[in-house]
């Protein structure tokens, strides 16, 4: 209850803040449309050569691209800004102000920033996803429900992973490069995980869960998902979230604060 209150409060503050910079919306929209353009060109090039890629048809890959764009929007709007702010706080020692507050610190550091306009990709991704689903001949309510569930799992998965990455800052302080690297790896989510060679498949599911995060929701609307896969994905998400929590607690012990 308290958690949702804090979340909502942060959300409102961020919204008020971002409304001051409305031109950023157009910049964000422009960038979003550019990357949509590139994505469609690539799909066009691929399907100029073949009718399906490892069993995925064009509208099915469009669904993958939609999920990739949507999830990318969530990452840029909510997850990355928080991670960046957190790293800055560890570097400057200003994390003290968070730790002394009477609320859970991990909740605090992962909900306090929203870069609203970056969320344009969520809208663009949803539109792409809707177009893909229409091209596929629609989806049952059950498929849509699993899509939403898959997306929620994906956000938790990526957030847990990013949290663990950020926690490294307690030991190494400067880890901005790792976050930048994540951005590079995330691009792998443009394609279903099955196109990658074996070692990379493992890497994109267990080490950096980008592959699973994008492929599971996309599978929901392309008729590839069954109860078992969904349950496995849910269990994996739970484990990842638990690990990130444990890792955070251990890391916190290494934080020495501003005055130390």
Partner 1 sequence: MTEKISRFAGMRALYLKNMQVALQREMQYRFTNFVGLLGFMFEPVIYLAVWTSIAKARGGTVNGYSAGALAAYYIVWTLVRSFNLVSTPYGFERRIQNGQISAQLLRPAHPIHYDLSYFAGWKLVSFLFWIPMAFVLTAAFKPSLSPTPLEIGIFVLAIWGGYLIRSIFQWALGLFCFWTTRVAAVFELYMVLEVLLSGRLVPLSFLPPWAQHVADFLPFQWCYAYPIETLIGRLNMTELFVGLAMQVMWIAVGSGLVALVWKRAARRHTAVGN
Footprint of partner 1 on this chain (CB under 8 A)?
A: 27, 30-31, 34-35, 37-38, 41-42, 45-46, 49-50, 52-54, 174, 177-178, 180-181, 183-185, 187-188, 190-191, 195-197, 199-200
Pick 35 or 256: Cβ nearer partner 1 = 35
Residue among 215, 175, 207 nearest 191 (CA): 215
The tokens for 27 are 């910049």
Show the DSSP H helices in 117-226 as ranges: 120-135, 141-167, 169-172, 176-186, 198-202, 210-221
Pick 48 or 137: Cβ nearer partner 1 = 48
Pick 139 or 188: Cβ nearer partner 1 = 188
Report in angstroms how near the CB of residue 220 gets to partner 1 at its nearest: 22
Question: What angle in degrees, to the nearest 10, is found between the helix axes of 141-167 and 210-221?
Answer: 170
Pick 163 or 188: Cβ nearer partner 1 = 188
Is the Cβ–Cβ distance between 29 and 22 less than 8 Å?
no
Report in angstroms how near the CB of residue 160 gets to partner 1 at its nearest: 21
Q: How many CA atoms lie within 13 A of 213 on its CB side?
A: 32
Report in angstroms how near the CB of residue 199 gets to partner 1 at its nearest: 7
Report in angstroms how near the CB of residue 154 gets to partner 1 at its nearest: 19
The tokens for 84 are 């960046």
């Amino acid at each position: 209850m308290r958690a949702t209150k804090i979340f909502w409060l942060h959300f409102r503050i961020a919204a008020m803040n971002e409304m001051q910079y409305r031109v950023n919306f157009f910049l964000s929209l422009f960038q979003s449309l550019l990357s949509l353009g590139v994505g469609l060109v690539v799909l066009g090039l691929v399907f100029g050569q073949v009718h399906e890629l490892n069993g995925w048809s064009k509208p099915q890959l469009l669904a993958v691209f939609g999920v990739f764009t949507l999830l990318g929007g969530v990452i840029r709007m909510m997850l990355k800004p928080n991670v960046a702010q957190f790293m800055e706080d560890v570097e400057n020692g200003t994390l003290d102000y968070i730790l002394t507050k009477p609320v859970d610190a991990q909740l605090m550091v992962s909900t306090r920033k929203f870069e609203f306009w970056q969320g344009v990709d969520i809208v663009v991704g949803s539109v792409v996803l809707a177009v893909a689903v229409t091209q596929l001949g629609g989806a049952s309510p059950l498929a849509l429900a699993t899509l939403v569930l898959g997306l929620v799992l994906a956000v938790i998965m990526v957030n847990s992973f990013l949290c663990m990455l950020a926690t490294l800052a307690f030991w190494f302080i400067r880890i901005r490069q790792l976050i930048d690297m994540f951005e590079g790896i995330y691009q792998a989510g443009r394609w279903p995980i099955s196109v990658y060679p074996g070692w990379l498949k493992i890497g994109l599911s267990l080490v950096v869960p980008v592959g699973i995060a994008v492929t599971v929701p996309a599978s929901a609307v392309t008729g590839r998902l069954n109860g078992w896969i969904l349950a496995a994905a849910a269990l994996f998400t739970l484990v990842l979230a638990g690990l990130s929590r444990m890792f955070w607690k251990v890391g916190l012990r290494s934080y020495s604060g501003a005055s130390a």
